[in-house]
Amino acid sequence: MGSAPQPGRQHGTLTEAPMRLGVPRTTGEDHRIVAVTPDAARRLTELGYDVLVEPGAGDGARLGAHEYVAAGARVAGRDDVWSADVVVALHAPGPAELDLLRPGAVLVAQLAPATDPELLADLAARGVTALALDAVPRISRAQSLDVLSALSNVAGYRAIVEAAEEFGGMFTGQVTAAGTTPPARVFVIGAGVAGLAAIGTAASLGADVHAFDVRPEAADQIESLGARVVRAADATQQVSADGYASALTTDQEAAALRTYAEQTARADVVVTTALVRGTAPTTVTREMVDAMKPGSVIVDLAASGGGNCELTVPGERVVTARGVVVLGYTDLPARLPQHTSRLVGTVVAGVVALITPGQDGRPVLDLDDPVVRGMTVTTGGQVLWPPPPVQVSAAPTEPPPEAAPPVGPRASAQRHRQRRVVLAALGGVLAGLLIAASPPELVGHYTVFALAVVVGFYVISNVTHALHTPLMAQTNAISGIIMVGALLQIGDPSPVVTTLAVVAAALAGVNVFGGFLVTRRMLGMFHRDEPSRSGGGR
């Protein structure tokens, strides 16, 4: 049975009764990952589903069958799991599993819709409604449903762990009685989710991290993790309308390769992450590898798409004649199965919750929802891939006809510098006039104030982003001193002094209380929740 569509909406209720939701065991190189943890299974049962888990599905992540049973799920055989009303898997089913899917079933898995049209045609012919976890549109509302980001985060972290194991030295610099050792130099190509995870991990180990991304807006994210931004103005580009990076032009690619050649020759560890819609462009050529130092390590996180390095062999470890190690592992998330399974389970539960608005075990497709529409690749015997484009905030908007032509990065930077010079000159003139008109006893105070401004600017501007939280605590203390001084001046016979003291006390108070509030929120980001007793979130 089905419910009537709402006026003006493409809605279809797939069944009226609560459904059985099957969780099969993952096979292949990712066999240690399970798509639904006990915590996620509990959430799915709360949505009204009868959750069936294949025996041994959670063994690789050390999640026993008893934990699933305690969460409200049931253990069932392979045939029962794959013939359930809703099937949730990590990867696309093979030929044998496809034969077990019943017509009208809902399949939620990574389906690689852009590269496997035959699978989509087969699913549509079988009457399966398929939602691709790896086709979530890049919009803010869908970030928590992006399984690729979850897997990339783990892969970026694990890439540095693998590199540290292969590298013949310590990542952090050492100062000892026997001498000093410099930190390892790490170069990361791409500051997406995987790249940022690699940057943060390498920086936390004390490495000298440098990173490059063709998107200019990624520079702030790189610096916030304590790394140095490698800049190449001729290779920058904007994000495409679907939120993914576009392929580089010939000139941009040539400029980027020059930057890669310079940085890889100086690096001890190189991490590549460039993947454009499942295809890996070449970012590290054979000549670049030959120019690297013996003992250097390359971790190619785009190996699944063919590899960014010309010497990458997907799934293999390669050592060149000069002793450079090239790691093309494609199972990095599976090497941390507990953490990965927890992230994937959270994503899967969120996706199922999205298509179960009534929390009654009845999935409903709202194809007017851009998130649901983007993931739905087959339904009603039809292939719905590719979805219509979704406008994202990262994409540039078209200027109105009367607007001036867009200004390039160099011209914009030059204008910014010119404005700063003009403002600085005006400020200097005004300061000179103020000093000339002031009594002699105030000249010394102005001098001290000017020196304090200059020193403070250079001190603050050169503090790394990682130290902004303790720096804010220092500024809170300074604001407290200002508040005390202002309070002592309130009641002065001069109305000017009293007015300035009241204003100073008010502003310092706002700064103190606001600073403590922001500091508390920033420190709260590092707070660890208590582990779940069910074991699903270990």
**What does the pLDDT look like over 213-265, one tens digit per residue?**
988 889 999 999 999 999 887 777 655 555 555 666 788 888 999 999 999 99
- Encode pLDDT of 147-192 as tens digits: 999 999 999 999 999 999 999 899 998 888 888 889 999 999 999 9
Q: Where are the domains of the chain?
A: 11-135+355-383, 152-174+181-333, 463-538
Active site (annotated) includes residue 138: yes
Q: Report the half-sphere exposure of 28 (CA within 13 A, side-chain side).
A: 13
From 32, 43, 126, 138, active-site residue:
138
Average pLDDT in the 494-523 region?
Answer: 81
Closest CA to 465 of 199, 287, 280: 199
Question: Could you tell me what percent of the chain has a pLDDT over 90?
Answer: 59
Closest CA to 206 of 176, 231, 177, 181: 181
State residue 296 phi and psi, 5-degree precision. -70, 160
Active site (annotated) includes residue 50: no
CATH topology of domain 152-174+181-333: Rossmann fold (3.40.50)
Global confidence as pTM: 0.70
| H or E segment and range at residue 433 | helix 409-436
Active site (annotated) includes residue 368: no
From 3, 6, 140, 143, active-site residue:
143
From 83, 110, 149, 221, active-site residue:
149
> Environment class of residue 226 by beta-carbon count within 10 Å: exposed (0-12), middle (13-18) or buried (19+)?
middle
Active site (annotated) includes residue 149: yes
State residue 343 phi and psi, 5-degree precision. -65, -45
Q: Fold match between 11-135+355-383 and 152-174+181-333?
A: yes
Distance (Å, whole) CA 168 – CA 191: 26
Q: Is 7 a residue whose pLDDT tops 90?
A: no
CATH code of the region 11-135+355-383: 3.40.50.720
From 215, 224, 244, 246, active-site residue:
244
pLDDT, residue 3, reads 38
From 146, 213, 366, 369, active-site residue:
146
Active site (annotated) includes residue 157: no
